Amino acid sequence: MTKATLQALLSHWWRNPLQLFTLLAGLALATALWSGVQAVNAEARASYDAAATTLGEGQYDRLVRRDGQPMAQDTYITLRRAGWLVSPVVQGRLNGVRIVGIEPLTAPGGIGPVAPQEGADAARFLSGEGQLFGNADTASRLPEQAFVITPEAAPGTAVTDIGVAQRLLDRQGQIDTLIVLSGQPMGQPPLADIAPDLARQSAQGGSDIARLTDSFHLNLTAFGLLSFAVGIFIVNGAIGLAFEQRRPVVRTLRALGVPLRGLVVLMGAELMLFALIAGGAGVALGYVVAALLLPDVAATLRGLYGADVSGTLQLRPVWWLSGLAIALGGTAVAASGALYQLAQMPLLAAAQPRALAMAAGKRARFQGIVALGLLCAAGILMATANGLLSGFALLATLLIGAALALPLVLDRVLAGLSRLAKSMTAQWFWADTRQQLPGLSLALMALLLAMAANVGVSTMVSSFRLTFTDFLDQRLASELYVEVEDTAQLAALVDFASPRADAILPIQSAEVMIADQPTEVFGSRDHATYRDNWVFLENTAAAWDRTFDGEAILINEQLARRSGLSIGGVVQVQGQAFPIVGVYGDYGNPIGQAVIGEDAFVRLFPQVIPRRFGLRMDPAAVPGFVQELEEKAGIPATQSVDQAQIKAISLAIFERTFTVTTALNVLTLAVAGFAILMSLLTLATMRVPQLAPVWAMGLTRRQIGWLELMRAMMLAVLTAIVALPLGLALAWALLAVVNVAAFGWKLPMYLFPLDYARLGFFALLAAALAALWPARRLARTPPADLLKVFSNER
C-alpha cells in the first residue's frame, strides 16, 4: 500500500516539474543565503577564537602599564624575582602580520603554537635565531622568515620567541603585557609596592574582538534570517499550491482506502526528503555565497575592528549540519499549515477552487487581526525600544505585520480601482486581478520584504556615507599628518615645520577608564581647526575655550550613551574632575573618547610623548613640504600621509564595510523576483479555464497576454508604494534603535528619492521580466486548449 501511495503522490511532481523546481529552488535559495551568512560568521568566530587562544585571552589576568605605554624588560625581571609567576608578551605589526612574541619557558600551556609541529626546532625557537609559527597565508606575507606552518594558527598572526619578535619589531627591551599565570605562590609582595605603574586587568571570560564584532555579526545574521524568510515565503507558496492541487487526489486516495494518518505521514516524509535534497544544494550554494562574501567581510572586520579573519573558507560540520537543520525546520514550518489542513479535511469535502479557499473571509479576517496586532506592537516598540533585542523585535514585528497586511491592502485598493473602471474589459481586469491576488500574495509579500530591506538598508548606508564623509572633513582637517619615531625626529619636525606650516597640532592620547569605560583621552592644542570644524551633538557656550583652558572635557557620543553621561556631568581623569561641556559625534569608533586641553593633558600624562602631528598649510604646498622634510629634516616621506590619502583609505574601508549588505540586498531582491516568476508560471497553468471564457467573448490571445503582463507590473508598482514607507520605517529603526544599541551612536537620517526611484524601476523591471514568460505562454495558448475548457464542462 505504501509503495502504491508513494507512487501516486510522487507522480504529481513528475507531472508538475515546475512546481517541484519552485519548491526545491526556493528552499535551496533560502538555505543558501542563510547558511552562507552563517558560514561567514562561523569562519570569523573561529578566527577570533584562534586569535584569543594565541594569547589566552579571557583565561589569564594581565599586567599592563596604566598609561598604556610599553613596559621595560626590567619590570618583568623585578616581578619574577619577587615571586610573581608572569610571562612577557610583545606584539606589533610587520608587513600587515600581527607578530606575537612570547617567552616559551614561562608562558602558560595552551597559548602560543598549539603543539610542536613537524619541522619545529625547539633550539631555534629559543635561540633568538627565529622560527615563526603561523598559517600558510601568513608565511607568504613574510617570505624572508623561517616559518613552521600551523594551519590552526590565528589568521594574520605569527607567534615567535619574544627575543625574535623584539628584533623584528625593533622594540628591544620592551614588553607590552605580562600574562599572570594561575596558581601564584603565597606571600608575594603587592603589585603596588614593586611595580606601581602597572595595573592588573582581570580575565573577562571571552575574546575582546569577539565581543566587539558581535553587533556586526548580529546584523549579518539578521540579514541572513530575512533572506531565509523571503525564501520560506516561496516554499510556503509552493507547498500550499501543491497541496491545493492535490486535494482531489488526496480525497480519491482516501476513498480508495488509504488511511488518513498514513497519508499525512507519507506527505510529511516526502517533503522532508525534498528538504534534505534542497537543503544539501542550498548548503553547497551557501558555501559559494560565503566564499564570495568572505574576503569583503574579512576586509571590513580588519578595517573596522582590527580583527584578523581568514579569507579562506573551511567546510565545518557544525555549519553544514545546521544548514540542513534549518532547511528541514523551514520546510516543517512552511508545510505545517498545509499538513494540518489535510489532517482536518473531511473525506467528503468538495475540492474547493483555490481562489475561494484562499480568500475565505475567516482567514482574511484572522490575517488582518494578526497584522494589525503586529503593527501596533511595532508602534509601541518604536516609542520604547532601547536595546539590540527590542530593536530586532521592532524590525520583526514591522516587517511581518506589513507583509501580512499587504494582500488586504492590495485587495482594498483593487476594489477601489474596479469601482472606477468604465469599460467592460477594465472591470474584468480589476475583478480578475483581485481573484489572482491570493495566488500571488506570497510572492508579493516576498517582493515587499526585499524592497523594504533595500530601501531601509540603502537609506542607512547612504545616511552613514553622508555623515561619515562630513565627519571625515571635520576630523581630518589638517592637510598633512606626520609621525615621528623619537624625540630627535620630534625636534627636527618642530624646527623645520614651525616657520613653514600655519600650525602644528600634536595628536597625543592615553588610554584610561572614564566612568568604567575604556576611553582614549586626547590632549588637543588650542587652534581654530577644532573650533571651526568639529560639530557637537550638544554643547554649552564657550565649550572649546573651557576645554583648552583645562577646565572642562569633551566626550564622544559612545561614551555619553554607554555611561549615561551628558552636559553638566563630571568625570574623573587621573584623579582630576572635569565637567562635561560638549558631546561630539564619533562615527566608526568602537570605544569611548574624550578631549581635554593640551596643557591639562601634559600635566596629567607627562610620560606621553606626542608622535603624530597634524600640520595646517596650503594644500598645494604639501608635496614640496614632504620632500623637503625628508631632505632637510631627515624624516622619511613614508612617515608623512596627506589628508586626501587618509580620507581615501577611510572611505575605502567604509565602502567595503557595506559591500556585504549590498550583495545580500541584491540577492534578496533576486530571490523575490524569482518568487514572482515561479508564482506566475504556476498560476499560468491554472489560468486557462479562467481566460477561455474571456477569449471566447472576443479578447485576442495577444491582448490577454498583454493584460497579464500589465497585471504583474501594476501589482509590483502597488507593492513598491507600500514598500517605500515600510523601508523608511525600517531605516529609522536601524539608525535610531539598532545602530545606537549595537555601536553606541545615532546617525541622522537622510532621504534619497533618486535611489528609491531607481529601486522602484528595478522592481518593476524584475516583475516585468518575471511576467514576460508566463504572459507569452498564455498569449500562445493553442485555441484547442482553450476549447478543451468548454468541452470538459460537458
- Per CB under 8 A, residues contacting other proteins are 1, 3-5, 7-8, 11-12, 14-16, 248-249, 251-261, 347-348, 794
Phi and psi, residue 577, nearest 5° = -85, 135
In the complex with other proteins, which residue's Cβ is closer, 9 or 741?
9
Number of neighbouring beta carbons within 10 Å of residue 532: 10
In angstroms, give the least distance from the CB of 353 to other proteins.
15
Nearer to other proteins by Cβ, of 202 and 791: the residue is 791
Minimum gap (Å) between residue 6 Cβ and other proteins = 11
Whether the Cβ atoms of residue 593 and residue 522 lie closer than 8 Å to each other: yes
Can you give the C-alpha Rg of the chain in angstroms?
33
> Residue 20 Cβ, how far from other proteins at the closest point, in Å?
11
* Residue 355 to residues 18, 93, 97, 158, 439, Cα–Cα distance (Å): 20, 66, 63, 65, 7
For other proteins, which is the closer residue by CB, 187 or 257? 257
Measured from the CB atom, the residue of 346 and 606 that comes closer to other proteins is: 346
CA distance 191 to 185: 14
Strand partners, 594: 521, 555
Coil, helix or strand at residue 87: strand
- Nearer Cβ to other proteins, position 347 or 383? 347
> Where are the alpha helices (H) located in 605-700, listed in sequence order?
622-633, 643-657, 659-696
Nearest-angstrom CA–CA distance, 147 and 136? 9
Smallest distance, other proteins to C-beta of residue 258, A:
6
Closest distance to other proteins from the beta carbon of 7 (Å): 7
- Whose cell is 548548503? That residue is 283
Query: Residue written as cell 498569449?
Result: 779
Phi and psi, residue 65, nearest 5°:
-75, 145
Residue 468 sits at φ, ψ, to 5 deg, of -65, -40
Nearer to other proteins, 259 or 373 (CB): 259
> Least separation, in Å, of the C-beta of 445 and other proteins?
29
User: At a CB cut-off of 8 Å and minimum separation 6, what does 483 contact?
Assistant: 611, 612, 613, 639, 640, 641
- Residue pair 201/421 in contact by the 8 Å Cβ criterion: no
Phi, psi torsion values for 522, nearest 5 degrees: -105, 145
Residue 789: CB minimum distance to other proteins, A: 12
Q: Give least dist CB 246 to other proteins, A.
A: 9
CA distance 201 to 222: 34
- Kindly state the smallest distance separating residue 115's Cβ from other proteins, in Å: 60
Q: Which helix (H) or strand (E) holds 66?
A: none
Which one, 264 or 494, has the nearer CB to other proteins?
264
Q: Angle at Cα 688 formed by Cα 685 and Cα 690, nearest 5°?
A: 120
How many Cβ atoms from other residues are within 10 Å of residue 562's Cβ?
A: 15
Least separation in angstroms between CB 249 and other proteins: 6
Report d(CA 40, CA 439) in Å as an integer: 36
Amino acid code (one letter) for 625: F
Q: Shortest distance, CB of residue 358 to other proteins, whole angstroms?
A: 21
The smaller minimum CB distance to other proteins, of residues 257 and 575, is found at: 257
Nearer to other proteins, 130 or 353 (CB): 353
- Please state whether beta strands 157-161 and 97-102 pair in parallel, antiparallel, or not at all (unpaired): parallel
> Which residue number, 184 or 252, has a Cβ lying nearer to other proteins?
252
Q: How far is residue 204 from each of residues 122, 201, 218, 301, 513, measured CA to CA in Å?
A: 32, 9, 21, 22, 16
Minimum CB distance to other proteins, residue 788 (Å): 9
Sign of CA dihedral 243, 248, 253, 255: positive
The span from the CA of 657 to the CA of 644, in Å, is 20
- In the structure grid, which three cell numbers stand for residue 606, read together? 607627562
Nearer residue to other proteins within complex by CB, 163 or 268:
268
3-class SS of residue 347: coil
Q: How far is the CB of 27 from other proteins (least distance, A)?
A: 21
CB 291 within 8 A of CB 30: no
- In whole angstroms, the minimum distance from the beta carbon of 784 to other proteins comes to 13
Question: Residue 257 or residue 606: which is nearer to other proteins going by CB?
Answer: 257
CB 250 within 8 A of CB 342: yes
Q: How far apart are CA 115 and CA 537, in angstroms?
A: 52
Q: How far is the CB of 256 from other proteins (least distance, A)?
A: 5
Q: How far apart are CA 524 and CA 518, in angstroms?
A: 19
Nearer of residues 264 and 421 to other proteins, judged by Cβ: 264
CB of 245 to other proteins, least distance (A): 9
Rounded distance, CA 99 to CA 95, Å?
10
Whichever of 1 and 315 has its CB closer to other proteins, that residue is 1
Positive or negative, the CA dihedral 142, 143, 145, 151 is positive
C-beta closer to other proteins: residue 345 or 431: 345
How far is Cα 283 from Cα 306, in angstroms, rounded to an integer? 29
Nearer to other proteins, 348 or 383 (CB): 348
- Smallest distance from the beta carbon of 776 to other proteins, in angstroms? 23
Dihedral sign of CA atoms 368, 373, 379, 381 in order: negative
DSSP 620: G
- Burial label for 251, CB within 10 Å (0-12, 13-18, 19+), is middle
Shortest reach from residue 292's CB to other proteins, in Å: 39
Which lies closer to other proteins via its Cβ, residue 345 or residue 372?
345
- Residue bearing cell 561630539: 584
Toward other proteins, which CB reaches closer, 202 or 792? 792
